[in-house]
Structure 1
Amino acid sequence: MTLADETPATTPDTDVPVDALRAVLAPLGTLAGVERLTGGMFATSYRVTLDDGTRVIVKTAPTATDALLTYEHDLVRSEAHVYRLAEQHPSLLMPRVLLTDFTRTHVPSDALVVSHLPGVPLVDAGFGTADDDPRTARAEHELGAYMARLHTAGLPAPDGGFGYPNPAAGLNAPTWRATFTAMVEAVLTDAPRWGVELPADEVRAALHRHGDVLDDVTAPTLVHTDLWAGNLFVDPATGGIVGVIDPERAFWGDPLHELVGADCHNVGPVNPRVLAGYASVVPGGIDVTSPSAQTRLALYRTFLTLILTTEIVPRSFAGDWLPGYRTTLAAALRTLLDSLA
């Protein structure tokens, strides 16, 4: 959409007034065109063209903070922090931070402006997850290699411990067991706020029963946590990964958790192509077969399933797909808890 001078302050394609976007972007240039991006379910994002032809992405945080889970507060600030850490590592393929506006004067929430990436989201690339397409094989192998590069980049935690970049959530601790326990407890505490019923006692019992395996994680590693196909930009002709976005939910923890966020409904074996890609960078790959690793995977999958189940209500999800989605999540949670029993 091209914006002329007579364009009204708010357009049908945007939730943020155009004049507010202009004000945020003024240090970079004059806004010439804006397009609301779809696909994200948390922040609101726009592709903006400046008057010199430069394209940038503007991301604004939700304004309804009462609809956020505990860990979701100030996620745009966390995203900016991770992007800045990644700037020294070009192989991590993340956008560059061009501007941040955390004053909440032009828009009522935090705003982040980053460089525009090449490629298209893997979810929109046209070949999807077709197992017989060589582009799928390449994308999955490169995803595993990307994970390994991220986990071995040595990006430091703000306080040297475990948890989220933003300490405001209170989900940080010196040990992974204490941190992950707090993360799970936060979701179990959040759910009743929206009338979401979770098997909280069963989850707590499983975490208590298997807490010792969390002590096997002794060094905090930056984990993106959300490397699904919507956050991976690929060359649609080859399947090669050319960009990665949305590390807003990243935390310092167990790198094994990366495999969960990239395949969020999987309760079975990890994708062998992803594992092979990981091993192409880190000799020996990542352990997914030891008793400790299998138990940790089940705990992390349980945690993510709790989040996915809880967020349905505050995000106001709706549609014909929703009953089936709820059924899928409930079945996955039952399988995981039975395995941890």
Structure 2
Amino acid sequence: MSAAAMSAAAVTAAAVTDGAEQERVERCVRQVLGAVRVTGGRALHGGLYNSARLVELADGRRLVLKAAPPADAPALTHEQGLLGTETLFHRLAAPTGAPVPAVLHHEPAGPENSGEWLLLGYLDGATWDELRNELTPEHRAALRRELGAAAARIATATGPRFGYPQPVPGLQGTDWPEAFTGMLQAVLADAARFDVPLPAPADTLAGLPERFAEALADVRRPALVHFDAWEGNLVVTRDPEGGPRLGGLIDGERAFFGDPLAELVGLDPLGTPEGDPDLMAGYRSVTPALATDSPSARARLALYRIYLALVMRVESAPRGYAPDHTAWLLSWSADRVTEQLAVLAALDR
């Protein structure tokens, strides 16, 4: 085949793909909104599991259509029905006053629908991560206060039980020690399944919930936790004077019901946000009594940092990250786990 013919074939294949995608988008949107006209849209990048697409309608509305990967795509144990989890998160968070997208429709996978999808309202703005170099220290401090208040509001929502909301065996519990034990055991099993080396002996890691069961038992209410509200999942908009404001928290697909302190770990996986005075001032403007420096709180924060580091480490295998990023992630997560095990050892003397 000539180069010209190969190029023409590629264009034709792309057109067929684009046409099928456009038909799918229009079918989903019309199922929810009726006879509306889709006039444009584009893929939204940044998500690592579900795909997302901006959808523009003739009446000026903009929406987000999210779709789950194929059911046989490699995934961690807790990565099942994540769009259902995101739906639940947004619906529970919205009444608390936290800024989140409106849920228009969630369609689970089923006999007449091969793929799970979710239709959301679109939040105008750009992600905090995208605007990083434009934010002054004053802007960042104000945004951190807003973020702290939003995190506290989210934590006022209460779930029916502890753990992940999707019905995956072993990921829930009647109390937080039981649920967290199951969550940690699942990611350790995922490490074995995907042949990802652990940064500490498996027995040591698996025994942490029992070793610190008393601290975990201090959590008596299954609070809603986003657990992935890092700066790439925060939308920043502009106030009437042009200053940046927190426009919303997106991608609530990693949410679970558990300890409000876990939210602090998810807000900044690489740092220690409980030491950020602006973030904590915002949080305590809603929930003044949050304790972060008691032995119990410090133990739980260390446990959640270990858990998140393991999740980030193990997911590198099914995600197929670039070699450089995988190497950094393996090195960082090993250091993080070692650091937090030392914190726990000091508390356990």
TM-score w.r.t. length of structure 1: 0.88
2:85: which partner in 1?
A: 78
- The amino acid of 2:68's aligned partner reads A
Tell me if the contact between 1:302 and 1:333 (Cα under 8 Å) persists in the aligned partners.
yes
Q: CA RMSD in A?
A: 2.2
Q: Name which of 258, 262, 265 aligns with 1:260.
A: 265
Q: 1:211 to 1:106 in 2, by over 3 A?
A: same
* Structure 1 segments unaligned to the other structure (5+ residues): 1-6
* Structure 2 segments unaligned to the other structure (5+ residues): 1-13
Q: 1:167 to 1:104 in 2, by over 3 A?
A: closer
SS in 2 for 1:56: strand
1:329: which partner in 2?
A: 333
Question: How far did 1:175 drift?
Answer: 0.5
1:148: which partner in 2?
A: 152
Question: How far did 1:271 drift?
Answer: 2.1
For residues 74 and 117 of structure 1, the distance between their equivalents in structure 2, rounded to whole angstroms, comes to 23
1:205-232 Cα distance to aligned partner (Å, 9 max, x none): 3332212210111111111111111111
Question: How far did 1:193 drift?
Answer: 1.1
1:1-50 Cα distance to aligned partner (Å, 9 max, x none): xxxxxx93413xx9x72222221112322322120011111110000112
1:270-318 Cα distance to aligned partner (Å, 9 max, x none): 322211111122224x211000000000001000011000000100000
1:153-204 Cα distance to aligned partner (Å, 9 max, x none): xx342xx221122123541111000000000000011111111111311212
- The amino acid of 1:201's aligned partner reads D
1:298: which partner in 2?
A: 302
Of the structure 1 ranges 132-141 and 69-78, higher mean CA displacement relative to structure 2 is found in: 132-141
Question: How far did 1:54 drift?
Answer: 1.4
SS in 2 for 1:26: helix
Q: Name which of 206, 209, 212 aligns with 1:210.
A: 212
Of the structure 1 ranges 230-239 and 36-45, higher mean CA displacement relative to structure 2 is found in: 230-239
Structure label with greater radius of gyration:
2
Q: 1:146 to 1:88 in 2, by over 3 A?
A: closer
Question: How far did 1:52 drift?
Answer: 2.2
For residues 210 and 188 of structure 1, the distance between their equivalents in structure 2, rounded to whole angstroms, comes to 18
Tell me if the contact between 2:49 and 2:68 (Cα under 8 Å) persists in the aligned partners.
yes
Tell me if the contact between 1:127 and 1:133 (Cα under 8 Å) persists in the aligned partners.
no
**What is the number of residues matched between the two proteins?**
324
Within the alignment, does 1:26 sit opposite 2:33 as a pair?
Answer: no
1:186: which partner in 2?
A: 186
For residues 106 and 245 of structure 1, the distance between their equivalents in structure 2, rounded to whole angstroms, comes to 28
For residues 92 and 282 of structure 2, the distance between their equivalents in structure 1, rounded to whole angstroms, comes to 23
For residues 232 and 171 of structure 1, the distance between their equivalents in structure 2, rounded to whole angstroms, comes to 27
For residues 223 and 271 of structure 1, the distance between their equivalents in structure 2, rounded to whole angstroms, comes to 19
Give 4+ residue runs of structure 1 displaced > 6 Å after superposition. Answer: none
For residues 310 and 132 of structure 2, the distance between their equivalents in structure 1, rounded to whole angstroms, comes to 31
For residues 158 and 288 of structure 2, the distance between their equivalents in structure 1, rounded to whole angstroms, comes to 22
Of the structure 1 ranges 200-209 and 45-54, higher mean CA displacement relative to structure 2 is found in: 200-209
Within the alignment, does 1:239 sit opposite 2:259 as a pair?
Answer: no
Question: How far did 1:64 drift?
Answer: 4.9
2:6: which partner in 1?
A: none
Tell me if the contact between 1:163 and 1:172 (Cα under 8 Å) persists in the aligned partners.
yes
Name the structure where helix makes up a greater proportion of residues.
2
For residues 127 and 169 of structure 1, the distance between their equivalents in structure 2, rounded to whole angstroms, comes to 43
TM-score w.r.t. length of structure 2: 0.86
SS in 1 for 2:106: strand
Question: How far did 1:126 drift?
Answer: 4.1
Tell me if the contact between 1:231 and 1:245 (Cα under 8 Å) persists in the aligned partners.
yes
Query: Percent identity over the alignment?
Result: 36
- The amino acid of 1:298's aligned partner reads A
Tell me if the contact between 2:125 and 2:235 (Cα under 8 Å) persists in the aligned partners.
yes
